[in-house]
Structure 1
Amino acid sequence: MDFKLLYKFFEGFATEEEETAIKQWLADSTENEKRFLEERRLFDAILLNTEVSVVEQNGVNTAFNISSRRSTYLFQFLKIAAIVTITLLGSWFYFTQINKPNRFIANQVISVPAGQRLNLTLSDGTNVWLNAKTRIEYPVSFNDKERLVILDGQAYFDVAKDKDAPFRVKTKDGIVEALGTKFDVLAYSDNLQFETVLMEGRVKVNVTEDPSQILILTPNNKALLRNGKLQAEFVDDFSAYQWKEGLISFKNEPFYQIMKSFEKVYDVKVVIENPKISNLIYTGKFRIIDGVDYALRVLQKDVKFVYNRDTERHIIYIK
């Protein structure tokens, strides 16, 4: 089997004839099935030009060596700028059983660690950006009635249009439904904040614990949960949602909330020992690549505080 053809299939560019050839190759032996799964793991885990990727599966780290004959080809395809831990439950189960009436469609889970971001394309063509410390679960292939993903964290969705199969994002606090649109969902399970911002199209938002609470959003509006009540607000500035471009933007946000953002994007813990500055309001914008020290020094120009770093424990103390 030409491994370039497999990667073409993983990217969703294989023709019908090529998919048939891969299916026949898989049916020839269980060894081919194992090889297919191994190549899929490599495809999902490789970090651009690295020679070894590590996939964490069932709590065990497994290293996969990437031969030079395939790493160049993978480099051309993958645009992943994140260290991603992936639990792959077996995409080949779906492909090999595609003609069976009760086929099992495997789910894939991707977790993005602090300090990283990830861009991926789902099987229906939907483009997704995942922010730091975000977990998403989705089927290797969607069915023809519903496109459901489960999100813990923050993600931006550019949804492929399919009027017969609504696209749904399920979170701890709410469900967002769209047919074809662009929107941002903020729903970290360790945070009380749930928010959906609509850039294009139309979405429906309801509350997980109270499905009767429903909002239909139009562009430049957001839905947010306050004290258990779903509310709508107009959005006139989308700069706060530029995280996928590598920016931290905030407008009239308290200092402690900005520090929570720093914790995610810089993979540190921030301890505010000076309560007087916790609720001070800031407006600003930083490039993530400039680093946390630069961001803190800029903030120090408006408010006098000092900070110390425990580099071994990745903790910043603000006094």
Structure 2
Amino acid sequence: MTEKYYIDLFEKFLCNQATDEEIGLLRSIIRSDRNIQQLLEDKLVASSTTMDDNTKRKIFGEIRKQIHSNKKTLSISHQKVLQWVAIFVLPIVSAFSVYLLTQNTDSSKNPTIITAQNGEKAEVTLPDGSLVWINSGSSLTYEADFNHKKRSVYLEGEAYFEVAKDEKRPFIVKTQSMDVQAIGTAFNVRSYNSEQQISTILLEGKIKVNVAEKETLLGVNQRATFDKYSKVLSTDNVDADNFVEWKKGNIYFNNQTFNDIALTLSRIYNVDIQFASEELRPMRFSGTLGSSGIKNALDILTLTSPMYYDVKDTTIILHHKKTVK
């Protein structure tokens, strides 16, 4: 998720506009991400002095309530945070984080988070029968009420979906900037924080893409791409099957830079890749690398590009061939 997404959720909470799903999602991510409290604090403390008195009273009312109701159950670390907040009126965000972390909630209502670490993949069947393949370095989150009134999941990374058909309850994949809605279809969504673009590609059926207050419909073998920097949404025709080769262990690159390729290989094989020659980064490659491991992938790149590599300890270093003396 982006910092802006966290801030937007926090602001909606302060304005009493956040849904139970959004509050639950933010709470679960705060629990699982040790950096988020610092992130929220760093980004919002500067604006906290402009918060109105009602907002401040709301947040600190919750903190005071938690101090009194959870004296016996709070951990020492949480007690220290609460004491810190009580002494210093600001930042507001720390109070909010503690409030979410210490809330008494029914564990059965906690969201489900499925994570595929770098070097791993995961397959999951959702409660509605939809099938999801989760690529390396990705996570999928859904609330306890999934498949009741709605079917929404949050994706960070890449996943392929085969959605169970249900015309009354559209299936929605939410990412940091793009929402993809389907009724019964198969599609791929890619939304890594480290990448400049978010994309979705349709293999079967139809999907509706919502991003930056724009909406577009995709047909089979069409791709929608949103550039996070320029805020431009574009569509094109592709061979969709190529883009889900990762399900079979293969890696397909479509005119991608070596910088992006290095990031992808690092994520898939859980290795550290560095550039000794910066001129390699913008060079591009198209093709499919097989499932025979990182050495095979690098050997193919060496044969088809002006690149060679060596291994130093546990780090792979990429060089440009013309730098060889």
Which TM-score tier does this pair reach, normalised by the shorter chain?
0.5 to 0.7
Which of 221, 246, 252 does residue 249 from structure 1 map onto?
Answer: 252
Q: Which deviations, in whole Å up to 9, do the C-alpha atoms of 1:116-135 show, x marking residues without a partner?
A: 11111000000000000001
2: CA distance, partners of 1:140 / 1:297: 46
Unaligned runs of 5+ in 1: 1-56, 60-91, 95-104
The one-letter amino acid paired with 1:146 is K
Does the 8 A contact of 2:255 with 2:284 survive in 1?
yes
Aligned counterparts of 2:163 and 2:289: Cα–Cα separation in 1: 28
Bigger fraction of residues in strand: 1
What is the CA-CA distance between 1:274 and the residue it aligns to?
Answer: 1.1
Distance 1:190 1:305, change over 3 A: closer
| Structure 2 counterparts to residues 146-225 of structure 1, below 5 A | 146-207=150-211, 210=212, 212-225=213-226
Match of residue 311 from structure 2: 309
Q: How does 1:1-319 map to 2 (within 5 A)?
A: 94=108, 105-207=109-211, 210=212, 212-226=213-227, 227-236=230-239, 238-288=241-291, 290-311=292-313, 314-319=314-319
Runs of 4+ in 1 over 6 A off after TM superposition: none
Residue 153 to residue 282, structure 1, CA distance change in 2 (3 Å): same
TM-aligned CA distance change 1:58 to 1:282, over 3 Å: closer
**Structure 1 CA distance, aligned partners of 2:260 and 2:163?**
29
**Secondary structure at 2:304 match in 1:** coil
Distance 1:58 1:236, change over 3 A: closer
Q: Match for 1:213: what amino acid?
A: K
Question: Aligned equivalents of 1:306 and 1:297: distance in 2?
Answer: 8
CA distance in 1, matches of 2:140, 2:239: 28
Distance in structure 2 (CA, Å) of the matches to 1:302 and 1:225: 30
Question: Match of 2:87?
Answer: none
Rounded Cα–Cα distance in structure 2 between residues aligned with 1:302 and 1:151: 34
Structure 2 CA distance for aligned equivalents of residues 146 and 269 of structure 1: 40
Using the size of structure 2 for normalisation, the TM-score is 0.62
Of all paired residues, the percent bearing the same amino acid is 32
- Higher RCO, 1 or 2 (CA under 8 Å, sep at least 6)? 2
SS at the partner of 1:242? helix
Query: Could you tell me how far 1:138 is from its partner in structure 2?
Result: 1.1
Do the aligned partners of 1:144 and 1:164 also contact (CA within 8 Å) in 2?
no
* SS at 2:127 equivalent: coil
TM-aligned CA distance change 1:310 to 1:110, over 3 Å? farther
CA distance in 2, matches of 1:265, 1:173: 24
The structure-2 alpha-carbon separation of the partners of 1:143 and 1:284, relative to structure 1 and needing over 3 Å to count, comes to closer
Conserved 8 A contact 1:215-1:230: no
Shift in Å at residue 172 of structure 1?
Answer: 0.5
Q: Which amino acid aligns with 2:266?
A: E
CA contact (8 A) 2:290 2:296 kept: no
Shift of 1:205: 0.8
Number of residue pairs matched by the alignment = 216
- Give unmatched runs, 5+ long, in structure 2: 1-30, 34-105, 320-325
Distance 2:296 2:129 in 1: 38
Tell me, yes or no, if the aligned pair for 2:155 and 2:173 is still in contact at 8 Å: yes
Partner of 2:103: none
